[in-house]
Structure 1
Amino acid sequence: MTRSQAAPPQRHGPAAIDLYYWPTPNGWKVTILLEELTEAYNLVPVDIRRGDQFQPDFLAISPSNKIPAIVDHAPVDGGVPYALFESAAILAYLAERNGQFLPRRARERHTVNQWLAWQIASLGPTAGQVHHFREYASEIVPYAIERFTNEINRLYGVMNARLRDHEFLACDYSIADIACWAWVRLWRHHDQQLASFPHLQRWFEAIAARPAVNKGFRMGNELRQGSSTMTAAARTILLGQRARDV
């Protein structure tokens, strides 16, 4: 029996998790996992377009002023509420907390962790640069567009090669697949064609068909209220930040 077929995890009390969230790929990772775990959680919107991420209450939880972040009000050690930021750390924490989507056997667990690290170090940052230079930059920079579009193409190829002989990126369906899927979901924005990567496309469509993935991906979409993320004011907030005095 695979982990995705395992019995539902033990609950840790009603809505033990507060998720500080905005509908972005890094936010989707956590809502998707929480839906897969059937874990009760409170969605706490952090409107990054308005600068909510710089509010003192949020900075006390996420000092890097980034979403997502969580507060676990019923940690398994029985201690005081536990705050955590950075999406990869949150995924690993929640998976370990619930005993799903992160294998216990060392070799399998490290395989998951390597693909999770690959997403954090390579896929996510490169996709972010593609988005920036193709859609958000105030001027067209052909070299940057070509450089990062080529690199995201190479990374799609890495996943495609891995998935040629593997159903999922690691062993069974895991937090590594969730983390990477949230970024591949924006393949059109990356100027890529999934049909050019048949093994990646098979994997992508299989994960997209999971009800929890569909629900988690759509969580909070109404927060955007149909408006563009990158208004003039939001551009200043999101792209014009430098170090702040603490």
Structure 2
Amino acid sequence: MADIDLYTWATPNGWKASATLEELALPYNLKPIDINAGIQKDPSYIAINPNGRIPAIVDHSAGGFAIFESGAIMIYLAEKTGKLLPTDAKGRSRVIQWLMFQMGGLGPMQGQANVFYRYFPEKIPAAIERYQKETRRLYEVLNTQLKDSEYLAGDFSIADIANWSWTRIHNWAGVSIDELPHLQRWLDQLEARPALIRGAAIPDPTDYNKPAKTDEEKVSGIQSILTK
């Protein structure tokens, strides 16, 4: 048995944990948490993640140490292995800045774009426009950063994994990345990494990164996108 238990579901925040584990080649025991069935609110899981969301991990090599919040999991795993996060102060700060950009900006704003574009009971054009515009603005920030840099913060890092996990489903939020060539190049580059694609198929493959074809498809499964 592997030392790490991964509690997760097929969402961008879930992919952040699974893709990091795959990139680091860390073995793990997959513990699917079907958020559509409300398992994340079970007391046994709340004991691991007090916030009742996914993902979470338990590191048995550290005495059964539990970590929740996707960004915190990524930092823990990077520090555990000495990979994907520089150890010098400036390099580390650059990576964490772009990780926080995703945690505090891209994830919440694109999540709201998903809500109002996909499954909110009534169409509220002003809300849809607000969150899609802000998501697009954040994409433009990424595009500018990537103009003169192969990756977001120097070498490939957890910052790239975090932002990729959300940007790859821009279609799901109804936000185009047309005329953002540097973002497109980076996204294509990361989509070619086998470990990331394996991570994005945990616990099951999805089609969130493909345009929805019908109104029914727009509604299907969206609640999982909003849950950490």
TM-score of the superposed pair, with normalisation by structure 1 = 0.84
Aligned position for 1:151: 134
Q: What pairs with 1:113-128 in structure 2 (closer than 5 Å)?
A: 113-128=96-111
Aligned position for 2:164: 181
Q: Does 1:50 align with 2:37?
A: yes
Within 1, Cα distance between the matches of 2:162 and 2:17? 9
Q: Which one of 95, 105, 121 corresponds to residue 138 of structure 1? A: 121
Aligned position for 1:82: 65
Q: Does 1:38 align with 2:25?
A: yes
Within 2, Cα distance between the matches of 1:207 and 1:195? 18
Residue by residue over 1:54-84, the C-alpha shift from the partner in whole angstroms, topping out at 9 and shown as x without a partner, is: 1011000001000000000002xxxx21001
Within 1, Cα distance between the matches of 2:177 and 2:111? 18
Within 1, Cα distance between the matches of 2:113 and 2:103? 15
8 A Cα contact 2:95 2:158, kept in partner: yes
How far has the Cα of 1:214 moved from its partner?
Answer: 1.0
Within 2, Cα distance between the matches of 1:30 and 1:147? 29
Higher relative CO (Cα under 8 Å, sequence separation at least 6) belongs to: 2
Give the match's secondary structure for 2:35. Answer: coil
Q: Percent identity?
A: 47
Give the match's secondary structure for 2:17. Answer: helix
Aligned position for 1:107: 90
Q: Which runs of 5 or more residues in structure 2 are unaligned?
A: 208-216
Aligned position for 1:27: 14
TM-score of the superposed pair, with normalisation by structure 2 = 0.90
Q: Which amino acid aligns with 1:194?
A: I
Q: Which runs of 5 or more residues in structure 1 are unaligned?
A: 1-13, 240-246
Return closer, same or farther for 1:88/1:114 CA change in 2, 3 Å cut-off.
same
Q: Which has the larger radius of gyration?
A: 1
Within 1, Cα distance between the matches of 2:20 and 2:127? 33
Within 2, Cα distance between the matches of 1:190 and 1:46? 24
Q: How many residue pairs are counted as aligned between the two chains?
A: 216
Q: Does 1:171 align with 2:154?
A: yes
8 A Cα contact 2:117 2:174, kept in partner: no
Which stretches of structure 1, 4 residues or longer, exceed 4 Å deviation after superposition?
A: none
8 A Cα contact 2:136 2:176, kept in partner: no
RMSD value, Cα: 2.1
8 A Cα contact 2:2 2:29, kept in partner: yes
